[in-house]
Amino acid sequence: MIARVFFIMTLLLLGVNVKAADAKEAAHGAGPEGDTKDSKNGAQTRADHYVHRWVPFPAFKATNLDRRETVAISPSEGRATVLVFLASWCVPCQQQIREFKRIEDKYRDHFTDFVYIFAHDTETDARGFSNVYKIGNNAMMASANVLEAFHQPELPSFYVADRYKWLVLRRINTQKQDLDELDKFLSLHTAL
């Protein structure tokens, strides 16, 4: 019995030493806390193998469908932001828009903003879709810069920024379970 316990403890100790050696190698050349800058985009990364990197939510400009003016879209400090990419011709978008609207209505008073971006769509079709589903003044037309910033997402897709303006959740080509996950995520991160 003692030999078994000794053997197990030895294996556990070896595992801890390997993890410590990995963390030390990753932190080589890093700052005093193990933080580094990602050379590609300048985002903060952590060298402790638990957080891969923090990505700031991109700020961009889009054309508002109601007012027909270009507006700057950026997450607000203290508010969660949900950015939904869709198109009027996209069948899954048509099937899921009511669920997105239900989630938006549920969290409207919980410091959450929804922005709907029409990608690869005509202004007339996007405006018609927006009117039918009562999207309102948070319906925007995507520009080439917006699509480039979000890497041409498949439709429908959503991106979520937390209260500190970090990109914290992303789902591409969303399915029903992704919308359930969004609902659960917002219930945890927007609790009063």
Q: Supply the pLDDT for residue 14.
A: 54
* Residue 149 covered by a domain: yes
- DSSP assigned state of 41: T
User: Which distant-in-sequence residues (6+ apart) come within 8 Å of 55 by Cβ?
Assistant: 41, 43, 166, 167
**Residue pointed to by tokens 């927006």:** 130
Q: Is there a single domain that holds both residue 22 and residue 72? A: no
Tell me the CA distances in angstroms from 9 to 1, 6, 15, 23, 56, one per residue in order.
12, 5, 10, 21, 42
CATH number at residue 176: 3.40.30.10
Is the pTM higher than 0.75? no
Residue 51 lies in a domain: no
Number of domains present in the structure of the chain: 2
The residues pairing with 112 across neighbouring beta strands, listed in sequence order, are 80
Kind plus residue range of the DSSP H or E element containing 115 = strand 112-118
Are 140 and 121 within 8 A, CB to CB?
Answer: no
List per-residue pLDDT tens for the chain, 192 residues long: 777 766 666 655 555 444 444 444 444 444 444 445 554 545 444 444 444 578 888 889 999 998 889 999 889 888 999 999 999 999 999 999 999 999 999 998 889 999 999 999 999 999 999 999 999 889 999 988 899 889 899 999 999 998 889 999 999 999 999 999 999 999 988 775
| Residue 153 lies in domain | 60-189
List the beta strands (DSSP E) in 6-59.
35-37, 44-46
| The amino acid at 85 | F
What pLDDT shows up at residue 33? 43
Q: Judge if 158 and 133 occupy the same domain.
A: yes
| Residue-level pLDDT at 55 | 85
